[in-house]
Amino acid sequence: MWSEEIDKKLREASENPAHSYDEKSWDKMEQLLDKHLPRKRKRGGIIFLLCFLLISGTAAFYIVQQQGSAKTTKIDKTVASQPIDLSTSTEPGNAQTPGITVPAATAPGKQDAASRHQEPVLEETGRSTAAKKKRTTDPFARRHDQPVTTDRKDREQKAEAQHNTMPAGKNNNQDILADPFAASVNGSVAGHLPVSPSPVRKDTAAAVAKNDSFDQQLATKENKKPGQAPPLRGNKVSVNFSFGPDISGLGMNYTGRLKLQAGVGLSYAFSKRLTVRTGFFVSRKIYSADSAEYHPPPNFWSYYPNLKKVEANCLVYEIPVSLVYNFAAGKKGNWFASGGVSSYLMKKEDYGFSYKDSWGAPQYHHLSFDNKNHHFFSVLNLSAGYQYNFTDRLSLMAEPYAKIPLTGVGFGKVKLNSGGVLFTVGFKPFLKRK
C-alpha cells in the first residue's frame, strides 16, 4: 500500500535539483525575451551620424567651392597677363611684316573713307601694340609707375598724341620692329617699301576689343590702394577649444553643483555674419529632484512607491550644432549671438533614491546605468558673447549660455536646465595669405 512515507520521499527527491545549467537554454530564453521584452534599439545613432555627415559634407562642399573660385581668379589673371598674339593674319601683302596692318592705298575718295575707316583701327592697333610692348616688358609696371586709367577716351588721346609725335617718314611700325637693324632699314623702308593694300581684319579688331576688356579687368583687380594687405585664404574654418563652469538643475529649488565642462569643436563661416558651429563636450550634471519631477518607467514605482528625493550624478557627452550671428566687427573683435540644439549622450548615470518602504521606514537605494539613454537634438542652446581677435589666426570668445530641455533627459526623463559661461579659444589652421 502506498504510504505517506513514499510521498515524503518523493517530495524530498523533488527538492534536490539535479540539473546543471545549460547555456543553450539561455540562448532560447534570450530569443523569447527579444521577442516579448525587446530592448530599446539605439536608432538615434544612425540619425545623428547622418546629420553629422550632412553638416561635414556641406562644409567640405563650400570649402572646395571657395578654392575653385580662387583658382578661376588666378587663371583669369594669368590669361590677362599673357601677350596677345596678333600674328594670325594670312592676308597677302603681309608676308613682309607679318602681323602688321598697313593702310591700304586706294582711290582718293575711297581713300579718305578708307583712311577714315582704317585710321581708328590703326590707332587701336598702335595703342594695343604699345600696351602690349609695355606689358611684355613689365606686367606690373603700370601699377606702380603710372596711374591706371580705364577711360578709353583718354587712352585714345594718348595713342593719337604718340602717333603724331612720330618722326616724318616713319610709320607706327617702327615701334613694332624690335629689330636692332630697324633704323637703317626703316629709312629705306619708309622711302621704298611698297605700301600694299591690306584689308582690316575683323578678328584683329575683336582681339583688340578683348584685349581692352582684359586691360580693364586687370586694372580693376590690381587697382588697389598702395599698402593694402593681400586677401586671406582659408579664413573660414576654425578649430575651437572650450571650457567653463556649468551648473544644472530642475529649477531654483533644486540647483545642483557647479562643475567644469570642456570640449573641442569646429566652426565654418559662411559669410561675415553667419557661422555654423559644432563640437563635442564632456560635462557632469549633478542635480536633485523630487517625485513630482521624476518620470521613470512605470515599473519603477512598484519598488519606490514613496519616493522622497532623487540625487543624480551623470556624465554627459554633448554634441551641439549652432548658428552664430556676428554683429558689426570692431577694431579687434565683435559681439555675437548664437542659437542651436544639442544632443545628450548619457554616458553614465548614478542615482540615489531616498524613499519609504511599505512599513514607513526610510530607505536608500543606489542605481546605475551605462550608455542607456541618448537624447538627440533634445536641448535648446542659447548664448551671446564677445570674440576678441589676438591675430588673424587666434581668437578668444567668452559667452554666457543657457540650455533649455525640449524633452526629458536621463532615466527619470527630467527637464534639466543648465547654465554657465563658456570660454573658447579659436584657431584657424588653414589660414594663408594669397
Partner 1 sequence: MLLNQPDLLSAEELQDHIRGCALNNRESQKKMYSSFYGYAMSICHRYANHEQDATEILNDGFLKVFMEIYRFKPAYTDTISSFKGWLRKIMIYTAIDHFRKNNKHKLVGELNETYMHVPAAHEDALDKISYEEIIAAIRFLTPGYKTVFNLFVIEGFSHDEIARELGISTGTSKSNLAKARKQLQKILFHHNEITHKNVV
- C-beta closer to partner 1: residue 31 or 58: 31
Neighbour-count burial of 237, counting CB atoms closer than 10 A to its CB (0-12 exposed, 13-18 middle, 19+ buried):
middle
Neighbour-count burial of 283, counting CB atoms closer than 10 A to its CB (0-12 exposed, 13-18 middle, 19+ buried):
buried
227 and 398 in contact (C-beta within 8 Å)? no
Residue ranges in 260-406 assigned as alpha helix (H): 300-303
3-state SS assignment for residue 394: strand
From CA 183, how far away is CA 16, in angstroms rounded?
Answer: 128
- C-beta closer to partner 1: residue 256 or 296: 296
- Neighbouring C-alpha atoms within 13 Å toward the C-beta of 359: 2
- C-beta closer to partner 1: residue 37 or 107: 37
Main-chain phi, psi angles of 120, to 5 degrees? -60, -35
Least separation in angstroms between residue 35's CB and partner 1 is 9
- C-beta closer to partner 1: residue 32 or 252: 32
Q: Among 1, 161, 168, 328, which residue interacts with partner 1 (rule: CB under 8 A)? A: 1
- C-beta closer to partner 1: residue 300 or 388: 300
For residue 341, give the C-alpha cell. 540644439
Element (H, E) at 37: none
Residue type, 31: Q
Pick the piece of the chain touching partner 1 (CB under 8 A) from 4-12, 99-107, 151-159, 209-217. Answer: 4-12
Least separation in angstroms between residue 10's CB and partner 1 is 6
Least separation in angstroms between residue 256's CB and partner 1 is 24
- C-beta closer to partner 1: residue 22 or 85: 22
Span 357-416, contacts to partner 1 by CB under 8 A: 358, 365, 367
Least separation in angstroms between residue 17's CB and partner 1 is 4
Q: Among 140, 303, 327, 364, which residue interacts with partner 1 (rule: CB under 8 A)? A: 303
Least separation in angstroms between residue 293's CB and partner 1 is 20
- C-beta closer to partner 1: residue 3 or 188: 3
**What is the dihedral angle through the alpha carbons of 396, 401, 405, 409, rounded to the nearest 10 degrees?**
60
- C-beta closer to partner 1: residue 303 or 430: 303
From CA 278, how far away is CA 242, in angstroms rounded?
Answer: 12
169 and 189 in contact (C-beta within 8 Å)? no
Three-state SS string over 174-217 comes to HHHCCCCCHHHHHHHHHHHCCCCCCCCCHHHHHHHHHHHHHHHH
Pick the piece of the chain touching partner 1 (CB under 8 A) from 35-43, 112-120, 182-190, 318-326. Answer: 35-43
- C-beta closer to partner 1: residue 324 or 346: 346
Span 5-24, contacts to partner 1 by CB under 8 A: 5-7, 9-22
Question: How many residues sit in the footprint of partner 1 (CB under 8 A)?
Answer: 38
| Integer angstrom CA distances of residue 150 from 81, 177, 220, 295 | 16, 27, 9, 75
From CA 382, how far away is CA 403, in angstroms rounded?
Answer: 6
- C-beta closer to partner 1: residue 374 or 428: 374
Least separation in angstroms between residue 13's CB and partner 1 is 4
Helices 44-81 and 202-222 pack at an angle, to 10 degrees, of: 120
Least separation in angstroms between residue 333's CB and partner 1 is 51
Least separation in angstroms between residue 9's CB and partner 1 is 6
Binding mask 332-361 for partner 1 (x = CB under 8 A): --------------------------x---
Binding mask 280-299 for partner 1 (x = CB under 8 A): -----------------x-x
Q: Among 212, 300, 355, 377, which residue interacts with partner 1 (rule: CB under 8 A)? A: 300
Closest by Cα among 346, 282, 350 to 312? 350
Least separation in angstroms between residue 365's CB and partner 1 is 8
Point out which residues bind partner 1 (CB under 8 A). Answer: 1-3, 5-7, 9-22, 25-26, 28-30, 32-33, 36-37, 39, 297, 299-300, 302-303, 358, 365, 367
